[in-house]
Amino acid sequence: MTNHKALATFAGGCFWCMVEPFDERPGIISVISGYTGGTIENPTYEQVCSNETGHVEAVQITYDPQVMSYEQLVSTFWQQIDPTDPGGQFNDRGESYQTAIFYHDEEQKQVAEKSKQELEASGKFTKQIATKIIPAKTFYPAEEQHQDYYKKRSSHYRLYKKGSGREDFIKENWQQPVDKSKLKEQLTPIQYSVTQENGTERPFQNEYWDNEEEGIYIDLISGNVLFSSKDKFDAACGWPSFTKPVDKYEVTEHTDETHGMIRTEVRSKTANSHLGHVFEDGPVEAGGLRYCMNSAAMKFIPKEEMVEKGYKKYLYLFN
């Protein structure tokens, strides 16, 4: 158990959708759904949904600030919501679904306000940012059936996230736009084929399949960290293989029914590049997964170059 703990509290509409983006990420110890900001003690779900208690649905995150910074958490929070909506979130209307960042100390307040100012100045949204930044109040955990809802009732959760409008809003507003004509000039033919056309490079004839150096593998287009050499293993398949991503938030998984097979495709979240596939024939002792990636979709940063190239915060992977 880590000795470094801090709390972060965010209200982003329905709390079912605010657990998954933070859960199981590096440095995250727990994510609890609950209620905060109101006037009555130990409110129930029904009381909060009546919009008469002053509470909002929220998540409280316990995290290790030496691994996951508060800045990263705030950035993730913005990317789950419509920050211009003062009346709720997507199909969920009313006071209990309003958005807010509840700061626990002066440093968090400054980080949150600076982040909000930067978002307003970016021009990403034409409407004013409506999310409030307010002092943390007593947090009341929600009923057990609401905890980890994305795991307990995953099918219903997926339908709800899509049906509410949240999923499409996130894709439309937070996914990095890609200029394919520019990429065609910048990338090699195999890099373009893999990342933009879902191609596959040849086994045993690619850059990293047998690379044994210590370091990290980043998304070729966005520069975000995908995998670590600590989780790389020889799967005897001819492609670089890993037991897990460094941060599950940076990849998305999709059903792939091409070539007469049913597989799970892996894409980079920010750039939406094709990376490879994930299979369930990896080392059992490491979780049983094999993330089989294309070298052409990634760039390797040796451990000794990580500070110089802006990846200092990921050195914890090698401690």
Q: For residue 61, which of 53, 50, 69 has the smallest C-alpha distance?
A: 69
Q: What region, left, alpha or beta, does residue 49 occupy, with left being phi > 0 and alpha being psi -120 to 50 degrees?
A: alpha
Contact 41, 84 (CB under 8 A): no
Q: What is the distance between the alpha carbons of residues 301 and 317, in angstroms, rounded to a whole number?
A: 13
| Contact partners, residue 241, CB within 8 Å, separation at least 6 | 232, 233, 234, 235, 282, 290, 291, 292, 293
For residues 88 and 96, what is the distance between their CA atoms, to the nearest angstrom? 7
Number of DSSP helices (H) and strands (E) in the chain, helices first = 8, 17
CA angle 128, 133, 138 (to 5 degrees): 145
Which tokens sit at 57?
Answer: 């649905």
Pairing of strands 263-268, 290-293: unpaired
Cα 310 from chain centroid? 20
Catalytic residues: 14, 292
Residue 255 bridge partners (DSSP): 264
Per DSSP, the three-state class of 62 is strand
Q: Which amino acid is at 133?
A: I
For 69, the enclosing helix (H) or strand (E) is none
3-state secondary structure of 183: helix
